[in-house]
Amino acid sequence: MKIKIENLSKSYTKGKLVLQPLDLEIASGELFFLLGPSGCGKSTLLRLIAGFLQPDSGRIYFNDRDVTALAPEKRNAPMVFQNYALWPHLSVFENVAFGLKAQKLPKAEVIERTMEALKVVRMEEFARRKTPQLSGGQQQRVALARALAVAPELILLDEPLSNLDAKLRDEMRDELRTICRDRKLTAIYVTHDRREALSMADRMAVLNGGVISQLGKPDELYRKPANSFTASFLGEVNLIPGKVIANRAVETAYGIFNDISDLPAGSAVELAIRPEVIAIDPAAECVWSAELELTGGSYLGEFAAWKFGKLTVNEIAPEKRIYGSSCKLGVQKKDITVFAADGVK
């Protein structure tokens, strides 16, 4: 199922939009993430798509069918909630079969589809158990099975892994992605966890203040952020103010970065540079290099996060280094993003 959203907006208080008017298209079979901080509008957008809320303006289309006014149960777009929303007095089987029974399907079909869904999430042996007897990870699987049982073309996921421990989250990320791909499901997934989005998404939208800050593939947004908000939200980044001078160069407190900006001389800019792309004792040709004093840092096993004043440099398989010593640093042109100081380049 492909999703098309046109001029969609929503407010809970008159005159204060939680979701600014936005347009968005999601391709059939795409695992699409809505990412952003609390209050940015991502959960509101998901609930509008589900039909739990009605928009102030705009339209929602499923495969070119206008579903804006359609009740949630008629959209065939089940949601997996953060708290799983399972019935504690029902067995695993009864929870998963609930939606199928509501459709008044034949008993044999209900049993077949329920067990098939439980098999997909590897929970068929727990069919007779009550949900309070299950672990958090098992309850998450049951909630997913319930959504899959109704054979949806679209599945909505509202921070479904946030209550799991780190190890379980990693396992379920892989499983969720595999299930969605194997069943060719379109999935819209809300999270504030950047690692979850970067590791799972086909495409993603970063929201800020009810507006899409940037839309694209995970590696595009991480490597070439459109603005400082996206750059900072998706991971640690060095944001360096500067001014464009002659020959496309930018002058900063750390020296001159050569041949990196198309903006006119005199323009105020900001450079975004991820800590892992700054090389210590660089072998390749760089558009910027400088000798800086190592002022601090943290050894983290597989890498170290060194501090050179306010500049952070991540070194993979780090060498032993002495605070107060000098290191030559360098950055290649491809690893620098330039923003106009008042917006996107």
Kindly write down the DSSP assignment for every residue of 167-209, as one continuous string: HHHHHHHHHHHHHHHHTT-EEEEEES-HHHHHHH-SEEEEEET
Contact yes or no for 202/32 (Cβ under 8 A): yes
DSSP conformation class of 12 = E
- Predicted structure pTM score: 0.89
Task: Report yes or no: 264 and 283 within 8 Å, Cβ to Cβ.
Answer: no
Q: Which CATH number fits domain 3-230: 3.40.50.300, 1.10.274.30, 3.30.70.260, 3.20.20.70?
A: 3.40.50.300
C-alpha distances (whole Å) from 168 to each of 115, 122, 163 are: 23, 14, 10
Kind and range of the H or E run holding 233: helix 228-233
DSSP 3-state of 258: coil
The mean pLDDT of the chain is: 92
Beta bridge partner(s), residue 35: 191, 206
Q: What is the mean pLDDT of residues 320-329?
A: 94
Q: Parallel, antiparallel, or unpaired for β 186-191 and 31-35? A: parallel
Residue 66 or 82, more confident: 66
The pLDDT of residue 272 is: 96
| Parts of the chain belonging to CATH 3.40.50.300 | 3-230
* pLDDT tens for each residue of 226-265: 999 999 999 999 999 999 999 999 999 999 999 999 999 9
Count how many Cα atoms sit within 13 Å of the Cα of residue 132 in the half-sphere of its side chain.
Answer: 4
Mean pLDDT in residue range 39-57:
95
Residue 179 has pLDDT above 90, yes or no: no
Mean pLDDT of 326-344: 88
pLDDT tens-digit profile of 259-282? 999 999 999 999 999 999 999 999
Strands 203-208 and 311-316: unpaired
Q: How confident is the model at residue 342 (pLDDT cuts 50, 70, 90)?
A: low
